[in-house]
């Protein structure tokens, strides 16, 4: 059983389109995250939810909108895609304040905007 | 704010060579420190961690010691294998509340037979 699973794994789309990436974790964790990894492997946090409540919201264009229907799911919707949005997006989860740094990552969703 | 600096790669070593990847950090308070590894085409995996000064984290032959006096958390392995080829990320998590994890820029390791 995959602990943190994301879909789709690959996404190729045109500029201006809207797309969504879904994430689910079966670890029973209470906190979930979205990270963006650029072509140089630099990893940047975008959002974090704890029990469906937004707790971290970095400086991200408002074209990006996360949504957490329950603590096991965190989705990312991106409007009006731009070339610079091309990256690998990773979902992650962790459990509790004391172990917030122990992240479990999904395999990533590679987004290519043409 | 918090920051992590790690040595630039790529690092290329022969099998059975000794590995050191340097990592230093800047943080207020008492952060926890981590090393993550990313194999090609995969997500990051936690490799080891240390939560207080002088703690040594270890896993799969890798070790790192939390040095508060030098604000460092260098990753070492005595004898690398081809299967260790990956990108290694040093990271820290601040103390208190839900702190975001700050990652270094990653160091690519290539081990050749």
Look at residue A99 in the predicted model and tell me its pLDDT.
82
Instruction: Give the nearest partner residue to A45 out of B41, B49, B100, using CB atoms.
Output: B100
A55 vs A17: which has the higher pLDDT: A17
Residue A92 makes CB contacts below 8 A (sequence gap 6+) with A4, A32, A33, A34, A35, A103, A104, A105, A106, B43, B44
How many CB pairs lie under 8 A apart between chains A and B?
A: 59
Report the C-alpha gap between B68 and B31 in whole angstroms.
10
Report the C-alpha gap between A79 and A64 in whole angstroms.
7
Interface test with A, best of B43, B55, B89 (most A CBs within 10 A): B43
Residues of chain A contacting B48 with CB distance shorter than 8 Å: none
Q: If pLDDT is split at 50, 70 and 90, which confidence band does A52 have?
A: confident
Range with lowest mean pLDDT among A91-100, B32-41, B83-92: A91-100
Tens of pLDDT, residue by residue over B46-76, are 999 999 999 999 999 999 999 999 999 999 9
Q: Is the pLDDT of residue B84 over 80?
A: yes
Q: If pLDDT is split at 50, 70 and 90, which confidence band does B96 have?
A: low
Q: How far is CA B104 from CA A40, A109, B37, in A?
A: 12, 21, 12
Q: If pLDDT is split at 50, 70 and 90, which confidence band does A12 have?
A: very high
Interval A5-28 mean pLDDT: 97
* Distance in Å, alpha carbon of A19 to nearest chain B alpha carbon: 21
Q: What percent of chain B has pLDDT over 90?
A: 86
Instruction: Give the nearest partner residue to B46 out of A55, A103, A106, using CB atoms.
Output: A103
Interval A4-16 mean pLDDT: 97
Tens of pLDDT, residue by residue over A66-110, are 999 999 999 999 999 999 999 999 999 999 777 888 999 999 999
């Amino acid at each position: 059983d995959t602990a943190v699973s994301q879909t789709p794994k690959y996404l190729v789309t045109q500029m201006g389109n809207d797309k969504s990436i879904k994430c689910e974790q079966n670890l029973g964790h209470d906190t979930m995250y979205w990270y963006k990894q650029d072509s140089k492997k630099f990893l940047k946090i975008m959002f974090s939810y704890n029990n469906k409540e937004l707790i971290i919201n970095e400086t991200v264009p408002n074209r990006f909108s996360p949504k957490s229907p329950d603590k096991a799911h965190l989705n990312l919707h991106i409007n009006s895609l731009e070339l610079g949005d091309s990256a690998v997006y990773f979902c992650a989860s962790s459990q509790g304040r004391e172990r917030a740094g122990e992240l479990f990552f999904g395999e990533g969703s590679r987004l290519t905007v043409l | 704010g918090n920051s992590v600096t790690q040595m630039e790669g790529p690092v290329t070593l022969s099998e059975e060579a000794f590995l050191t990847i340097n990592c230093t950090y800047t943080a207020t308070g008492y952060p926890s420190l981590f090393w993550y590894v990313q194999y090609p085409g995969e997500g990051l995996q936690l490799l080891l961690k240390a939560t207080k000064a002088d703690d040594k984290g270890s896993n799969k032959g890798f070790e790192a010691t939390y040095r508060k006096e030098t604000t460092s958390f260098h990753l070492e392995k005595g004898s690398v294998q081809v299967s260790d080829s990956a990108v290694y990320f040093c990271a820290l998590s601040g103390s208190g509340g839900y702190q975001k994890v700050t990652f270094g820029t990653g160091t690519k390791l290539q081990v050749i037979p």
